[in-house]
Amino acid sequence: MLPWLRDGHANPSGAYREAKRARAAIDRAREQVAALIGGDASEVVFTGGGTESVNTALHSLDHLTGSGNAVVSSIEHSAVLRCVEAMARGVSRMPVNVGGVLEMDALAEQLKVAAFVSMMMANNETGVIQPVSEFFQMAKAAGLPTHSDAIQAAGKIAIDVKALGVDMLSVSAHKFHGPKGVGALYVRGGLAFEPLLRGGGQESGRRSGTENTAGIVGMGVAAELALRHLRNDGATSISAMRDAFEAKVLGGLTGVTRNGDTTRRLPNTSHLSFVGCEAAGLLILLDEKNIACSAGSACMTGSQRPSHVQLAMGIPEPLAKSSLRFSFSRLNTMVDALMAADAVIAAVGRLRRVQGDGVGPVVVYSP
């Protein structure tokens, strides 16, 4: 990114050579992002981030479809939920089971009154991978346009938009070690589409605004590195760290719940509840040990409400407020993972000593 931040100030829409060099760099990034999700470069629209991608996709679906509900899961990210709630149409919130997996039983019924569907590929709190393939197949069979929020999944598991048959799919660069402030929206070639941001007609009229060359180049390289990591079975090394972390925590403490169906989680995510420990207190103690984690998702931090994801999974409110999400990446080591587990064990112990022993029944919600 640095050359583009330092000297590459040309407007990629300009007619001079430096502008064409910027254009070429953006085109290359478009190929790199397309490769990560299995799409064609012409189907990749760069945006200002994942939230803009999601809002753009849902805005387009809202404007181009007739009456009917927006069908989403009850555990979508707030970018999807707040967006569809603002529409002048009904919202069907599909339930999940105790493992945080989408329940498909009522789907056929819901699709009958639907205008379009949006389903996340993996949940951003629990990391649980959703049955999107079956879901989108049913939606397509019902003739409904589809969007997937793949922001949490991209770079962590393989994505193939063609195999999925999805019409639009959102990704965000900073979720796979790219820069903040840049994302992409896959828009299937030939799909009717209405832009959210209008103006100079950049991105083939699909997203106006002077292109963020440095950010886009950074996203492209991050996509290439993430794809290489995935192809080199990087997921296995990450899940090994995550699993070692969980084994040590679960072995060292009582009253810990591991949330989310462990047979279908992203390799990097661990979502744990600690009976008798307020998450807010744990965050402070862990921060002192340089462990940066979150209660629910960062987008929910500061909110006093328990996570809607956990409530949808049937986790009781007190336990939902005692939950932390830990994320691992290829920039971590096994030593990091084990040290994090030690820190968690110490912090929970310390907090329970302060707050009373707090050890209640251990509730296991997932296999």
Residues tagged active-site: 299
Shortest spacing between CB 205 and its own copies, in angstroms: 10
Binder among 3, 199, 251, 360 for its own copies (CB under 8 A): 199
Let me know: does 157 contact 266? Beta carbons within 8 Å: yes
Q: If you ran DSSP here, which 8-state letter would residue 130 be given?
A: P
| Number of amino acids touching its own copies (CB under 8 A) | 64
Binder among 174, 248, 330, 352 for its own copies (CB under 8 A): 174
Binder among 142, 197, 244, 250 for its own copies (CB under 8 A): 197
Shortest spacing between CB 130 and its own copies, in angstroms: 19
Shortest spacing between CB 262 and its own copies, in angstroms: 25
Binder among 213, 239, 257, 322 for its own copies (CB under 8 A): 213
Shortest spacing between CB 17 and its own copies, in angstroms: 6
Name the H helices within 38-182.
50-64, 78-85, 107-112, 132-141, 161-164
Shortest spacing between CB 198 and its own copies, in angstroms: 4
CB nearer to its own copies: pick between 124 and 259: 124
- Phi, psi (rounded to 5 degrees) for 254: -95, 170
Binder among 86, 108, 334, 364 for its own copies (CB under 8 A): 86
- Pairing type for strands 69-73 and 256-258 reads unpaired
Taking CB under 8 A as the rule, which mask of x and - marks residues 39-78 in contact with its own copies? --------xxxxxx-xx---------------------xx
Q: Which amino acid is at 340?
A: A
Binder among 280, 334, 354, 364 for its own copies (CB under 8 A): 280
- Pairing type for strands 183-187 and 168-172 reads antiparallel
CB nearer to its own copies: pick between 65 and 78: 78
CB nearer to its own copies: pick between 111 and 168: 168
Q: Does 298 bind its own copies (CB under 8 A)?
A: yes
Binder among 109, 134, 200, 367 for its own copies (CB under 8 A): 200
Q: Residue 164's closest CA among 120, 195, 223?
A: 120
Q: If you ran DSSP here, which 8-state letter would residue 175 be given?
A: G
Residues 6-45 that bind its own copies (CB under 8 A): 9-11, 13-19
Binder among 21, 28, 180, 264 for its own copies (CB under 8 A): 180
Cα(87)–Cα(70) distance, rounded to whole angstroms? 9
Q: Does 131 bind its own copies (CB under 8 A)?
A: no
Got the DSSP string for 270-333? EEEEETT--HHHHHHHHHHTT---BSS-GGGTT--SPPHHHHHTT--HHHHTTEEEEE--TT--
Burial 62-85 (b: 16+ CB within 10 A, else e): beebeebbbbbbbbbbbbbbebbe
Binder among 98, 299, 346, 359 for its own copies (CB under 8 A): 299
Shortest spacing between CB 292 and its own copies, in angstroms: 4
Q: What residues contact residue 8 under an 8 Å CB cut-off, 6+ apart?
A: 18, 21, 22, 25, 213, 214
CB nearer to its own copies: pick between 101 and 348: 348
User: CB 18: neighbour CB atoms within 10 A?
Assistant: 14
Cα(116)–Cα(111) distance, rounded to whole angstroms? 8
Q: Does 300 bind its own copies (CB under 8 A)?
A: yes
Shortest spacing between CB 3 and its own copies, in angstroms: 13
Let me know: does 96 contact 121? Beta carbons within 8 Å: no
* Token pair of 319 as six digits: 């336990």
Let me know: does 199 contact 240? Beta carbons within 8 Å: no
Selected range binding its own copies among 2-10, 89-97, 106-114, 229-237, rule: CB under 8 A: 2-10
Got the DSSP string for 91-111? EEEE-B-TTSPBP-TTHHHHH
- What does the binding site for its own copies look like in residue numbers (CB under 8 A)? 1, 5, 9-11, 13-19, 47-52, 54-55, 77-80, 82-83, 86, 172, 174, 179-182, 196-202, 208-215, 280, 283-284, 286-287, 291-295, 297-302
